[in-house]
């Protein structure tokens, strides 16, 4: 669903995407409150990136989820799937009313499952595996002479997994310039702040040493997100790593940068306050 040619300038596109992301934040809060469980922190931090992918960057068709030349999206940090569901519902993959079925029997799964929801490309949630899956897709595109692109979003706690680094080495070896890995660097994981649990810095230098094209941005700034995807598309001969500095719980005052909101759903009163805040900003 790449945006069609339009007379709109970049600022208008950025404003539209920013407004969409704000609405999806409300959807995230609402579905998690109804579910009574889930992960608001990382869903709210990554939603700007996911919105840019579904409504600007990626070639896809909600009416034809298996379109052969579609771009692929792998949400490796699968616990943030409320962000993906919100964007997918907004794009028309399924009715928005289904969001209220999150984590209910027969409803939307709590992590991405490609056999349960049309448009989900891979089962994720067992952290560390998504980049390897995305690499396989990107290699298949090269082998088959296809021009689709592959986008993978990983988490910062997830980046402590060894398999991420094995994939990083391999993606560079095969010069997968049709692959973009985005790190949702909100700096906190379920056990605490990343630099206390298992230090990751310096991140940009490590990925550059692995021979990736590295771009560092504010991952909650839509204009910077779009610029990064443009630069990635123009890069040839190596995969792109986007280090997206984000705020965990972005948009909700009592959730921002709070480790406790990694995997705790808001109650009715908290959800009401959060939605009121999001509606004002």
Which residues fall within 8 angstroms of residue 176, CB to CB, at 6 or more apart? 135, 138, 139, 142, 150, 238, 239
Query: What's the pLDDT score for residue 280?
Result: 85
Mean of the per-residue pLDDT values of the chain: 96
> Which one of 3.30.430.20, 3.40.50.970, 3.90.180.10, 3.40.50.2300 gives the CATH number of domain 10-280?
3.40.50.970
Percent of the chain scored above 90 by pLDDT? 96
Tell whether the model's pLDDT for residue 269 goes beyond 80: yes
Strand order in the sheet with 213-218: 72-75, 150-155, 179-185, 240-245, 213-218
- Residue with the larger pLDDT of the pair 125 and 111: 111
Residues 16-71: tens digit of each pLDDT? 999 999 999 999 999 999 999 999 999 999 999 999 999 999 999 999 999 999 99
Domain-by-domain residue ranges, the chain? Answer: 10-280
Tell whether the model's pLDDT for residue 4 goes beyond 60: no
Cis amide leading into 202 (omega within 30):
yes
pTM for the model: 0.96
The CA distances from residue 159 to 137, 162, 164, 207, in Å, are 20, 8, 6, 11
Query: What's the pLDDT score for residue 9?
Result: 92
The mean per-residue pLDDT over the stretch 173-198 comes to: 98
The mean per-residue pLDDT over the stretch 157-170 comes to: 98
Tell whether the model's pLDDT for residue 5 goes beyond 90: no
Residues 242-255: tens digit of each pLDDT? 999 999 999 999 99
Tell whether the model's pLDDT for residue 140 goes beyond 80: yes
- Contact between 197 and 155 (Cβ < 8 Å): no
Kindly tell me the burial class for residue 242, based on how many C-beta atoms sit within 10 Å of its own C-beta (0-12, 13-18, 19 or more). buried
Query: What's the pLDDT score for residue 200?
Result: 96
Residues 209-254: tens digit of each pLDDT? 999 999 999 999 999 999 999 999 999 999 999 999 999 999 999 9
Query: What's the pLDDT score for residue 7?
Result: 60
Tell whether the model's pLDDT for residue 6 goes beyond 80: no
Query: What's the pLDDT score for residue 281?
Result: 65
* pLDDT confidence band for 127 (50 / 70 / 90): very high
- Contact between 79 and 263 (Cβ < 8 Å): yes
The mean per-residue pLDDT over the stretch 177-195 comes to: 97
Percent of the chain scored above 70 by pLDDT? 97
């Amino acid at each position: 669903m790449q945006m069609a040619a339009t007379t709109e300038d970049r600022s208008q596109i950025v404003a539209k995407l920013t407004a969409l992301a704000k609405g999806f934040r409300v959807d995230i809060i609402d579905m998690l409150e109804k579910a009574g469980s889930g992960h608001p922190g990382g869903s709210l931090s990554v939603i700007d990136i996911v919105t840019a992918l579904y409504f600007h960057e990626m070639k896809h068709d909600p009416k034809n989820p298996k379109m052969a030349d579609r771009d692929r999206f792998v949400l490796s940090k699968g616990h943030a799937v409320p962000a993906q569901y919100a964007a997918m519902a907004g794009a028309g993959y399924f009715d928005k009313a289904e969001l209220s079925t999150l984590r209910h029997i027969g409803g939307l799964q709590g992590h991405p499952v490609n056999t349960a929801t049309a448009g989900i490309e891979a089962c994720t949630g067992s952290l560390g595996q998504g980049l390897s899956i995305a690499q396989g897709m990107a290699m298949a595109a090269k082998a088959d002479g296809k021009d689709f692109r592959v986008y993978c979003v990983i988490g910062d706690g997830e980046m402590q997994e060894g398999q991420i680094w094995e994939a990083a080495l391999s993606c560079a070896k095969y010069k997968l310039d049709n692959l973009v890995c985005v790190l949702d660097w909100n700096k906190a994981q379920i056990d605490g702040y990343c630099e206390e649990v298992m230090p990751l810095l310096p991140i940009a230098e490590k990925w550059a040493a692995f021979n990736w094209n590295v771009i560092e941005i504010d991952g909650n700034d839509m204009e910077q997100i779009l610029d990064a995807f443009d630069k990635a598309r123009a890069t040839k001969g190596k995969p792109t790593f986007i280090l997206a500095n984000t705020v965990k719980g972005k948009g909700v005052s009592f959730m921002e940068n709070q480790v406790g909101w990694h995997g705790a759903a808001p109650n009715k009163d908290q959800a009401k306050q959060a939605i009121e805040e999001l509606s004002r900003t």
